[in-house]
């Protein structure tokens, strides 16, 4: 059900069964996570790991069409932590608790987790602007720019706008969203005035590492005109996988670490589709070091391919708590060590009230 954000009629008969199965699966994974300490050994599970310890990957020269090597890793590099979340919505008409509780309420259940890392990447699933008019679709989310300073205080450095709601109020609102996000000292990725702007990475220097973050939007329904072109604002890059892979290869030439955050998949899926798995692997082959996925509104497994973590879907985060399955979420955490090895974990959280995720 692309574009849907509420339970439909079928849910009254099937939802209890689906939720029970989903909760059983996710609860098992979260219980396993809770038993694994940050410094303890991680036992990878076939197909879906909640915590992995991996060695440095082969040179990008061995990767699909990379054509050049990344900058050398050396003793001058330190240990850095990169974290990611799923869908964040700051539309007060969709999450009315913000009106009574304030914008800091969205982040107050995280115990400062996002401030403790070197880089936090979220998926900002709404236009954050008072400009433009609603495009024809079932759900249109208009966030309040006043929410952005609280987001930055919470520790967010990157907001992905490559999703199926950043363009909800047309090109003027999208470009205004880019400006508003940047004015709040948060780097916008995944959208821009042209496809070239939308697909360009945000670059950061962190303890000797150059980190590139790329944002992509593969969810074009129900409004495909939202995708940017050479002359039109929009999101990056629809079903143009060649453009995505080219952007990853280009970023790998410029940076030591490449982060891909992508809106993909099908709503309510609890595992990735085969085409997502294939694309996720191609991202790694092209030079990506980690992938943060979102859109299904369900938490999906953490996997590893060629030593690189892929979080297929991080589910909802700052979002209404419509159901147990939809409220079960987590924070992706990747530790990059000086030798280039990675430690990836999924830290469990739960949306205990509307727009209020709490770490567990």
Question: How many angstroms separate the Cα of 139 from the Cα of each of 124, 351, 356?
Answer: 15, 21, 21
Token digits of residue 153 = 């205080």
Provide the pLDDT for residue 52: 60
**Average pLDDT for the chain:** 86
Nearest to 111 by CA among 294, 310, 348: 348
pLDDT number for residue 77:
97
What percent of the chain stands above pLDDT 90?
A: 78
Per-residue pLDDT at 248: 99
pTM for the model stands at 0.83
**Minimum mean pLDDT among 15-29, 70-84, 124-138, 166-180: which range?**
15-29
Q: What is the pLDDT of residue 75?
A: 67
pLDDT tier for residue 10 given thresholds of 50, 70 and 90? very low
Beta bridge partners of 237: 217
Question: What is the secondary structure of 79-128 as a DSSP string?
Answer: -EEEEEEEEE---TTTSTHHHHH-GGGGGTTSTTGGGGSSEEEEEE-SEE
Q: What pLDDT, in 10s, does the model give residues 154-212? A: 999 999 999 999 999 999 999 999 999 999 999 999 999 999 999 999 999 999 999 99
Give the range among 8-22, 91-105, 246-260 with minimum mean pLDDT.
8-22
Work out the pLDDT band at 29, boundaries 50, 70, 90. Answer: very low
- What is the pLDDT, as a whole number, of residue 9? 36
Q: Between 274 and 64, where is the model more confident?
A: 274
Domain 11-359 has CATH 3.40.50.720: no
């Amino acid at each position: 059900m692309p574009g849907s954000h509420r339970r439909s009629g079928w849910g009254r008969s099937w939802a209890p069964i689906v939720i029970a199965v989903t909760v059983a699966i996710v609860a098992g994974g979260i219980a396993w996570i809770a038993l694994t300490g940050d410094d303890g050994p991680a036992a990878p599970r076939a197909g879906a790991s909640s915590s992995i310890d991996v060695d440095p990957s082969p040179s990008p020269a061995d990767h699909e069409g990379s054509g050049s090597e990344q900058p050398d890793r050396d003793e001058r590099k330190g240990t850095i932590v990169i974290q990611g979340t799923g869908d964040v919505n700051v539309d007060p008409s969709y999450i009315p608790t913000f009106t009574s509780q304030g914008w800091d309420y969205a982040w107050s259940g995280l115990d400062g987790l996002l401030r403790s890392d070197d880089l936090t990447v979220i998926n900002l699933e709404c236009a954050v602007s008072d400009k433009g008019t609603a495009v024809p679709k079932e759900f249109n989310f208009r966030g309040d720019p006043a929410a952005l300073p609280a987001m930055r205080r919470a520790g967010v450095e990157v907001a992905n706008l490559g999703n199926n709601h950043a363009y909800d109020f047309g090109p003027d609102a999208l470009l205004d969203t880019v400006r508003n996000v940047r004015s709040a000292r948060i780097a916008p990725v995944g959208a821009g005035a042209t496809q070239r702007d939308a697909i360009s990475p945000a670059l950061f220097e962190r303890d000797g590492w150059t980190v590139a973050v790329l944002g992509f939007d593969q969810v074009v329904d129900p409004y495909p005109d939202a995708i940017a072109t050479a002359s039109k604002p929009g999101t990056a890059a629809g079903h143009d996988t060649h453009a995505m892979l080219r952007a990853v290869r280009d970023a790998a030439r410029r940076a030591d670490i490449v982060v891909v955050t992508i809106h993909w998949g099908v709503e309510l899926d609890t595992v990735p589709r085969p085409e997502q798995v294939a694309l996720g692997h191609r991202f790694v082959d092209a030079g990506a070091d980690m992938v943060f996925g979102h859109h299904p509104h369900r938490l999906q497994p953490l996997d590893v391919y060629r030593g690189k973590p892929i979080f297929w879907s991080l589910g909802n985060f700052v979002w209404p708590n419509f159901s147990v399955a939809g409220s079960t979420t987590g924070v992706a955490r990747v530790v990059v060590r000086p030798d280039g090895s990675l430690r990836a974990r999924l830290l469990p959280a739960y949306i205990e009230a509307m727009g209020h995720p709490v770490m567990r």
